[in-house]
Amino acid sequence: MPKQTFFNLPEEKKEKLIETAIDEFSKQSFKNASINKIAENAGVAKGSLYQYFEDKKDLYKHIFDIAGSKKQEYLIGWMHQLQHLDFIEIIRELYVKGIEFALENPKLAALANHFIKESDVKFKEEIMGVGIEKSNLFFEELIENAKKNGEVSKEIDTKVGAYIITNLNTSIMDYTLNKMEYEDILKHKEMLLDNVDKMLFIIRNGFKS
């Protein structure tokens, strides 16, 4: 948690700082990101940074929380209409919303992407708390429900299914972020969505002819 001093700061200064930190952490992994650069680019003395945050991890955690909130905010308006969609449609929407979020908030998406690739499991747990499991659990419930509805074959292992869906989701994200630099975004989005549909066709029907 940031210190009280940070919250007392004028809004403008807070935002500038957060913006700068997001910028750095979206370019570098936690370890390689530089407190010095954040301080410099935010136009703040390094000493001040340590008056606002306990340490580097505290700063990162706060930035990470903000990214999480932003994404949640992004999804929340859409969550309630989820009931009218079938299994594949829900997954599609999730993938699509993810892509859209990444295109609109590339830095936040890149930040999350760096975090996912982090190999230090203890560090991950420290930052995320119990939230790690949430995404997987969501998909598991989704599959369980779809099984009851008869939309999804009962022969399928729920956990493995959720694992596949999650992994393809993160790999779409990765793909999106990497391609983003090279191509014009709009054309690119079309292509991405096209690929999502092709992917979902396979997810739904499998490779079998």
Partner DNA sequence: TGACAATGTGACCATGTGGTCATATAATAA
Partner DNA sequence: TTATTATATGACCACATGGTCACATTGTCA
Interface residues toward a second copy, by CB under 8 A: 29, 31-32, 87-88, 113-114, 117, 119, 121, 143, 146-147, 150-157, 160-161, 163-164, 167-168, 171, 175, 178, 195, 198-199, 201-209
Interface stretch with DNA, choices 6-14, 15-23, 95-103, 191-199 (CB under 7 A):
6-14
Structure letter (DSSP) for residue 95: H
Nearer to DNA, 47 or 77 (CB): 47
The nearer residue to DNA, 39 or 165, going by C-beta atoms, is 39
Distance CA 129, CA 65 (A): 11
Q: Report which of 88, 71, 68, 65 is spatially closest to residue 1, judged by C-alpha positions.
A: 65
Q: CA torsion 52→131→112→184, rounded to 10°? A: -130
- For the chain, how long is the longest CA-to-CA vector? 64
CB 57 within 8 A of CB 145: no
User: Per CB under 7 A, does 120 bind DNA?
Assistant: no
Query: Which CB atom, from 15 or from 55, has the smaller least distance to DNA?
Result: 55
Q: 113, 173 in Cβ contact below 8 A?
A: yes
Q: Mask: binding to DNA, 53-92, rule CB under 7 A, as x and -?
A: --xxx-----------------------------------
Query: Residue 4, interface with DNA (CB under 7 A)?
Result: yes
**What torsion do the CA atoms of 189, 207, 141, 92 make, to the nearest 10 degrees?**
20
Length of the chain: 209
Q: Tell me the site size for DNA, rule CB under 7 A.
A: 21
Output the smallest distance, CB 8 to DNA, in A: 3
Judged by CB under 7 A, which stretch of 46-54, 75-83, 135-143, 198-206 contacts DNA? Answer: 46-54
Residue 36 engages DNA in binding (rule: CB under 7 A): yes
Nearest to 173 by CA among 118, 94, 119: 94
d(CA 167, CA 160): 10
Q: Under the rule (CB under 7 A), what is the footprint of DNA?
A: 4-5, 8-9, 13, 33-37, 44-48, 50-52, 55-57
